[in-house]
A and B are shown apart, each in its own frame.
Chain A
């Protein structure tokens, strides 16, 4: 196999970020740690009130610029399909850098991992390129079994076999993870599509057929946050859909059983990349949660880091 000659690449050999952008010397905001408050918080899902105890509601500073990004990119698409040398030389350098600086420097750890994995987390995140849980929450190899789909949705048990519940089954029953974390995020295109669609699904659209798994969150948002702007409603729906996914997790008998026994904890998270904050809460399982499936979700240990 011929060794391809190195091409000039802006990628540095180490694993730090290197960009040719002008880096401002000041940060956007101070890194204040605002955490450590553990409180019992009860959320009423069908409340008419617009106040949410324990949550700081911030509308996004900028409107979603998805379409303006796409328009400029249309002119710049250059695809190397002959040999892809630029993009894949980059990839080669990245893998070699990973091998040198991480794999070989922690060889014993990687050799142990090669024998088997015992992650403590199942993380369900969005496929969005900006919100990889390995990056934003620093999960290292071996720590988190990961599912990424549009809008980090968990369909209920009765919806039948799907990509997501195959991964649920493997991680909970075979790997026996101790924690499930569902992470939502700001400016989610999937949630926006959910909030924008009509009540009747356009069956030719996969996106609509999938995001309709979040329909309860949309119903609640439209009822509880109708006075807010569309962007703000989307933000509420992003968080509410995490809670709905947590409830959907409990529709799986083998999940509910473990949560009941206290050997599996279910957590929700929300990453706001406009303000760089992270909220995290834990489902406070009570027997009567199931009776009030359309009503409340009880949470504990609700923290906001900013």
Chain B
């Protein structure tokens, strides 16, 4: 508790003292980090406390205009589908700030085809984002080393026991698996192709199709390669897919 209070007071001091010199600020940052180090014992509650207080002091309290406005309502420009994987939060890798992106996280960032009989969770998100929030962009982001894609590619050929729910879910990208296997590709090719399958599936939702054909919504695919620190971005048009923008470009060393 004492260290918690100390962390809070040090953070407050840092945020209030704008003229603090860099050396002093760095020393205080280091002290805060040491106080926050959990040691050998992981405390989930302490993790949440630290996280929320950090957000409150450094963001919420610092930008009252923004957060007052957001309290009244949201008008995000993006609907983002990203994987549940702990390593690929779009808020971190693409720095989406509060209010910018309505965000879905599910296994392998999949979008099932329109069906009134199942997957109402996804349907509800698309319905709300497109018809109520009127987003202008839908972005589906795949990533490297995806466990869901791995399962899709390896089962049932590996003879493993089926899961209750996972196998049914990842079958959404079956077309991606079939295409990639026919071409002799591997998991990473399947992860990229699954993004395209999801983008195609988005067009089976009548309101999405309408908005896209009226050029009110843009559909884009992304691929985050966290092995090499590269992000690819491309656009799905009705008749074709644009070549990907590679960030950073291959010739630029970072």
Contacts and interface: CB of A to CB of B under 8 A. Distances in A.
A80 B77 CA distance: 12
B169 A166 contact: yes
Given A117-B86, A119-B86, A136-B52, A166 B45 contact: no
A77 B106 contact: no
Given A17-B63, A278-B52, A130 B116 contact: no
Contact of A138 (B51, B106, B124): B51
Given A81-B215, A96-B254, A70 B245 contact: no
Contact of A3 (B103, B118, B127, B252): B252
B186 interface: no
Interface stretch (A48-56, A171-179, A229-237, A289-297): A171-179
Contacts of A139: 51, 86, 89
Interface stretch (A39-47, A145-153, A219-227, A238-246): A145-153
B120 A210 contact: yes
A64 B74 CA distance: 10
B121 A149 contact: yes
Contacts of B235: 84
Given A3-B249, A31-B57, A145 B64 contact: no
Contacts of A150: 121, 124-125, 128
Contacts of A130: 70, 74, 98-99
B97 A17 contact: yes
Contact of B59 (A33, A135, A140, A165): A135
A199 interface: no
Given A70-B134, A127-B102, A166-B168, A210 B91 contact: no
Contact of B147 (A121, A162, A174): A174
A276 B60 contact: yes
A134 interface: yes
B87 interface: yes
A21 to B, nearest CB: 5
A82 B144 CA distance: 28
A31 B8 CA distance: 9
B94 A209 contact: no
Interface stretch (B23-31, B158-166, B174-182, B187-195): B158-166
B128 A207 contact: yes
A19 B66 contact: yes
B55 A167 contact: no
Nearest to B126: A206
Interface in A174-210: 174, 178-179, 181, 186-187, 189-190, 203-207, 209-210
Interface in B72-101: 72-78, 84-89, 91-101
A239 B134 CA distance: 27
Q: State which size class the interface on A falls in.
A: 35 or more
A151 to B, nearest CB: 9
B84 A141 contact: no
A248 interface: no
A164 B122 CA distance: 10
Given A127-B102, A169-B163, A117 B85 contact: yes
Contacts of B145: 114, 116
Contacts of A62: 71-72
Contacts of B216: 77, 79
Interface of B: 1, 4-5, 8, 12, 42, 44-45, 47-57, 59-68, 70-78, 84-89, 91-107, 116, 118-129, 132-134, 136-137, 144-145, 147-148, 163-166, 168-170, 215-218, 220, 226-227, 229, 231, 233, 235, 243-250, 252, 254
14 contacts: A1-B249, A4-B245, A21-B65, A97-B95, A114-B144, A129-B100, A132-B101, A138-B52, A161-B165, A164-B121, A167-B105, A209-B124, A273-B60, A273-B98
Interface of A: 1, 3-4, 11, 15, 17, 19, 21-24, 27-28, 31, 33, 35-36, 60-62, 64-66, 68-70, 73-74, 77, 79-81, 84, 87-88, 91-92, 94-100, 102-104, 110, 113-114, 116-117, 119-121, 127-132, 134-150, 153, 155, 160-171, 173-174, 178-179, 181, 186-187, 189-190, 203-207, 209-211, 265, 267, 269, 273-274, 276, 278, 280, 282, 301, 303, 305
List 5 A-B pairs, minimum CB-CB distance, nearest first.
A138-B51, A206-B123, A69-B73, A210-B124, A65-B72
